[in-house]
Structure 1
Amino acid sequence: MKKTISLVATITTLLFSTIGLVRPQQTVKADDLPVVCLGSSLTNSQRNGTLSTLSDPLNGASYQTINITGADLVKYLNPSGSNFTTNSGVWSSAMIQKTAQGSGINVRILDYQGRNNITTITANQYKNAAVTAGIADANIYVTSAVPIDGSGALAGVYAAYSKTGENLNQSQVNAAQDEMGTLSKITKENKDKDGYSDAQLNNAVAGAKQEMGKVGNNISDSQIRDIVNNQININHLGDTINNNQKQQIINVLIEIRNSGALKDNKFKEQAGAVSANIKKNAKNIFDKINTQENRNWLERMWDNVTNFFSHLFSGAIVINF
């Protein structure tokens, strides 16, 4: 009898110990799946090629698709000044994939059949625009079957957010599109100039947004101006960014403040993550500019002051100019 009870107890223990291994398989919500946004003007061949290009990073994982039409361009982009109609063609396509909290925005522009057809907008410009629009913690992939500037590519991402019930603030979307256009224009104007790169410009803007987030929604125009001046110096753009371009950046950041973006607690974190991402991906550029020789005079003077007092009583004072 004791042996029988012992056997039953053993079997019972084994059953309970393995309950965790026989749980019902968890179902992935459709809203959590990556969303592939396809331009409605694609031919069947282009559509298949675009699907293949955008889904390749998923390594066979499930995804959902939506079609982006001229009506979506009208809805999301015309309020910022574009002139699309419901009959406008849409070729640029994108995929958005949610990632872990705090991971930030990552953007990759994917070649279509070996060619980058996004001719104007850069990955860093997309990153900054996404943060401004209110998108957080996501991988975004962009491609096009035909050469196109790429300024409308995020319309699909905006539509994808709406599909999952996370409607974006249109004022922030407007600011994001204006920001993307402004930064693209400044990069075009400074193309091939020594000491300039799109990475430096976008890092300056991301850094400025992070600093604005620390102050909050009540930040003044003059504070924004000071932040921009500081970020331009930090990123060693003082010799390339002219006063007109600087004012354009200030105006965009004021528009971002007015859009209500700074009310989102995630804004500062996401801007900081974009800045870190830009510097990581352009390490060769930032390693080159962040040298002792390239640091500005005020930074070196401050080092000299602190060096003087720290060594005042040790008899070893070093002055660097």
Structure 2
Amino acid sequence: MDIQFDRHRRLRSSANMRAMLRENHIRVEDFIYPIFIVEGENTKNEVSSMPGVFQFSLDLLNKEVEEVVSLGIKSVILFGVPNQEDKDEVGTGAFHDHGIVQRATRQVKEAFPDLLVIADTCLCEYTDHGHCGIVEYGKILNDPSLELLAKTAVSQAKAGADIIAPSNMMDGFVTAIRQGLDEAGFEHIPIMSYAVKYASAFYGPFRDAAQSTPQFGDRKTYQMDPANREEALREAQSDLDEGADFIIVKPALSYLDIMRDVKNQFNVPIVAYNVSGEYAMIKAAAANGWVDEKAIVMEMLVSMKRAGADIILTYFAKDAARWLKDEQ
């Protein structure tokens, strides 16, 4: 047969051949694991829409973190869930020195000093209206919110947070937080900015976990339109100009094109946020026997690395760490 063609299959002929030529790899060091902390004692509440994800009270937190560390995961991000009666119109609990995240951070850093603790810096979990800034006459005010976000970041850094991760999407929030941290003597604390954060339907289960559903309207005036691509580059550029050290793209799975655009444009660490809705869909399908959970999760995670992610913030971190360990 005198036909000329390429023999690509030669390089796929065995497991070892495929492993040798694999372009992208998932490592346990790539993961950030999210943890939700609630007030109270002896509390471990499973989030109904996120099987395997729990809210922990402080007295049970160290046991959870111990498991995370034993799996080789190097980073966690803490989300606070205050009591409903402690919420107010300006989210005081977000920047109080004895807020739930501040207490959790001090506790975790004392017990696990080498673990990287990232603090989510926002107001929505702490405001009685559920929005990420100050509200006046039904409008979310940008500039007055910046001072509170800076206060929140400084209080989290004082508590021992290694990285500040502001997620509010107010204009100028990185500038305000960078200035606040520097003036407080925390020039060494990096900012992991939720620079590219879309107003996505994939956040629903998270709002169950963090009890942060807006009490009116939505967040479309400050989070990005899912239809927009070039806007992501403008948002990322602004945050880098203002002092961000990492760029988060959120969500991840439906925004892999955006992740690649950002990675191609900017030479900084890119974080993929594998969000709650993405987690919940796979868990539901696996529970029904419709998909192979391990296979589909690992394929999804490697797609994020292929799209340009250096780091993956994911609720699958513990599961994936176990699977990676089993393969060794």
Give TM class, smaller chain: under 0.3
Which structure: greater helix fraction? 1
What TM-score does the superposition give when structure 2 sets the normalisation length?
0.26
What TM-score does the superposition give when structure 1 sets the normalisation length?
0.26
Q: Relative contact order: is structure 1 or structure 2 higher (C-alpha 8 Å, sep ≥ 6)?
A: 2
Flag the structure with larger Rg: 1
